[in-house]
Chains A and B, each alone.
Chain A
Amino acid sequence: MSYRSVVDTHEMRHLVIQALIEHGGGGGEPAERITDEMFIGASGLGISSLALLQVLVRLEEQLGFTFEDAAVANASFATVGELVGFVSKLARGSGGSHTSEGSA
C-alpha cells in the first residue's frame, strides 16, 4: 500500500501540523487553531529553519517516503499552507521516492 492510497490532502495537512507541533511549533497552541495562513517562522509558529528540516525528516518517516535533496534544497516557505502544498506536491510523484511502508 503506497502512501497515495492512505494520505489525501486533508490528512497530509494534519500530518504536517502534527509534525510542526512535535518540533516546538505553536508554543502549545492546539492543532485545530493552526491555520494555513499562519506564518511558520519566528513571527508565527516559531519554527527555525533547522526544525523545519527536521519536520520534513519526520514526515519522511511517517510516509515511508524520501524527499530528494535537490527538490528540497533552497526551498523556502512562509506559511503553513505553503508547506502543506510543497510536501503534497513532492509526495505526489516529483521530488521524492517511496522507501518503505510509512506509519501514517
Chain B
Amino acid sequence: MNPSPGNTKLPVGWYNIIPDLPFELPPDVQPSGAGPSGQPLKLQLPLALVRQSVGTEHSIPIPPKVADLYRLWRPTPLVRAERLERALGTNARIYYKYEGGNVSGSHKLATALAQAHYYQAAGARRLTTGTGAGQWGTALAVACQAYGLACKVYMVGSSFAQKPQRQTIMRLYGAEVVASPSPDTQAGARLRNDSKIDSGNMAFAVTEALEDALGNAGSSLSVGSGEAYSILHSTVIGLEARDQLAELGLAPDIVLASLGAGSNFGGIAFPFMKERLSGGRGPRCISVESSACPKLTQGVYRYDRTDGSGVTALQKMYTLGHTFRTPNMHAGGLRYHACSKIVSALYHNGFTEAVAYPQVDVFQSAVRFSQLEGILPAPESAHAVHGAIQEARRAEREGTQPVILFCLSGHGLFDLTSYAEYLEGRMENVTVGADVIATSLQHLPTV
C-alpha cells in the first residue's frame, strides 16, 4: 500500500453536474393508468433532496453534521497500484480510490448519511429500502443508527441466502432485514406465489420497500444509486481524488468505475467531466458493467419503469426492460435492469464510454489484484479492477503512458462464497443473449 499524502481536506460541497450538462435531461413521465382515480399523491422525498436534483448551483454545501460523520473515514486513501503496474509490465500509472474503509465496506455510506440527515430533518422516523448485494442496505442501516431512525431492508433473496454476514451487520446497527420477495407486503406475497419469479430482482425489493413506506406513517423509501441526489453525494469521492492527484501534480487520462445504477460511476467520474462538457479535453470516463446485465452496451435508450410498482414516474434511460431477469451472478450490485438518467444521457451524448466483462475474467483480475495490492475487491468493484487492467494493456499496445484512476468501491470480505466458487472452478461466465433482451424490451411502456 502506498497511501496518498494526507494534506487533502474533505470537500466543503458536493459537485452538481446538472448546470454543466450541455443538453436538457428528458423529463420524467407519469405512467398511463397508474393509480386509482383520485388517489392522493403522497410526498415521500424531502424537498432538500429535490432541490439538489434540479438545482443550478455547482456546489451544494455538505451539512456540518454530515461532514463530521464523513470525517470518521474520509478523505479516503488514493493509492498507486505499483505492484500491479510492475506485474503487468506497464508504463501506465494506475491509481485507485479505496472506498471500503468504513463499516459498510463500500462507497454507499456517502449518500446514506446524507439521505438520513435530510429525511430526519423532514420528520421521518423510519426508512425502508431495497438492497441487492447488501452494501446499500448496510450503509443505510449505519446511517439510520447515526440519526436515530428505524430501518427496514428488503434484501434480494439470492443475496440474502448467499451473505448471512450482511444480514448480521445490518442487524448490528438496528435494522430489520427480510428476504425479498417477502410475506410482509402485498407485492411480496404476490410474487412468492408466482412460480416464474426467481429471487434475484432488485426491482422487487424496491417495490416492497415502497409499499411498506406508503403504508406506514412516518416511513419513507430511501434509495441509493441512480437518483441525481445519490450521485451528487457520491461526488465527494471524485472531488477528493481530483485534489489528491493534484497534490501529486497529476490529472487522470482515464477514469473507470463499475456501473450498477450510477452512484459509483458518477461519484468518481463526474468531478472530472466539467472540462469535457464545456467542449474541452478531459479524461475518458469508462463505466464497467457485467456481461450478465449489459444495460449500456446492449440496452436501449427509452422510457422505462424504475421499479416494479408500476406507479412511479417513467424515466428515459438505458434499460434492458423492467421485466429483464438478470441471470444469477456474483455482483449483486450490478443487477439493476437500467441506469441513472444522468449517466444514460451522458453516454447517449457521447461523453462517456462503456464496456462489459464476464465474471470469471473479472474474478481472475480481482484475485491477482488482491495478491499484489493487499485488498480483496467486492465483486462489483472487481469489474473496475479488470477494466483498469485492460486499459493498461491497451496502453502498452498503443505505446502510451496514461494515468489511470479507478474506484475500488468496496471490499469483498462478505463475498467469500463467491471467491470460493471461483477458486474451486465452479464459477461460469454469464452472458445474455440478444433474444432474451429483445423479449424483455417488448414490455417497455408506451409513452
Contact = CB atoms under 8 A, between A and B. Distances in A.
Interface of A: 23-24, 39-44, 46-54, 56-57, 60, 67, 69-70, 72-78, 82
Given A50-B28, A69-B118, 5 more contacts: A42-B32, A48-B41, A50-B312, A53-B43, A54-B50
Interface stretch (B9-17, B121-129, B425-433): B121-129
A23 B121 CA distance: 26
A58 B422 CA distance: 52
Given A24-B29, A47-B30, A76-B40, A53 B45 contact: yes
B196 interface: no
A79 to B, nearest CB: 8
A24 B123 CA distance: 29
Of A49, A54, A78, which is in contact with the most chain B CB atoms at under 10 Å from its CB? A49
A49 B43 CA distance: 6
B123 A42 contact: no
A78 B35 contact: no
B63 interface: no
Q: Which A-B residue pairs are the 10 nearest by beta carbons?
A: A69-B122, A48-B313, A76-B40, A73-B122, A43-B37, A42-B34, A78-B40, A76-B42, A53-B50, A70-B123
Interface in B101-133: 118, 121-124
Given A48-B313, A51-B28, A69-B118, A74 B37 contact: no
B122 A48 contact: no
A97 to B, nearest CB: 12
B39 interface: yes
Contacts of B122: 69-70, 72-73
Specify the main secondary structure of chain A where it touches its partner.
Answer: mixed
B240 to A, nearest CB: 28
Contact of A70 (B30, B45, B121, B311): B121
A67 B44 contact: no
26 contacts: A42-B30, A42-B35, A46-B30, A47-B30, A48-B30, A48-B41, A49-B42, A49-B45, A49-B312, A50-B50, A51-B28, A53-B45, A54-B50, A54-B53, A54-B54, A56-B43, A69-B47, A73-B123, A73-B220, A75-B42, A75-B43, A76-B42, A76-B43, A77-B40, A78-B38, A82-B40
Contact of B43 (A23, A72, A82): A72
A21 B191 CA distance: 37
Interface in B17-32: 27-32
A74 to B, nearest CB: 7
Contacts of B40: 41, 76-78, 82
Contacts of A49: 41-45, 312-313
A44 B35 CA distance: 11
A74 B46 CA distance: 9
Contact of B313 (A51, A72, A73, A78): A51
Interface in B331-376: none
Given A24-B30, A43-B35, A50-B28, A74 B47 contact: no
Contact of A40 (B33, B37, B41, B47): B41
B47 A72 contact: yes
A17 to B, nearest CB: 16
Contact of B47 (A23, A24, A47, A56): A56
B3 interface: no
B250 interface: no
Contacts of B311: 42
B42 A74 contact: yes
B423 interface: no
Nearest to B45: A53
Contacts of B43: 49, 52-53, 56, 72-76
A42 B29 CA distance: 10
A74 B44 CA distance: 6
B394 interface: no
Contact of A57 (B30, B37, B47, B121): B47
Contacts of B218: 74
A52 B244 CA distance: 40
Contacts of A43: 35-39
Contacts of B32: 42
Contact of A23 (B27, B33, B36, B48): B27
Of A53, A75, A76, which is in contact with the most chain B CB atoms at under 10 Å from its CB? A53
A72 B34 CA distance: 23
A75 B34 CA distance: 19
A75 B217 CA distance: 11
B30 A51 contact: yes
Contact of A76 (B28, B41, B124): B41
B51 interface: yes
B123 to A, nearest CB: 4
Contacts of B36: 43
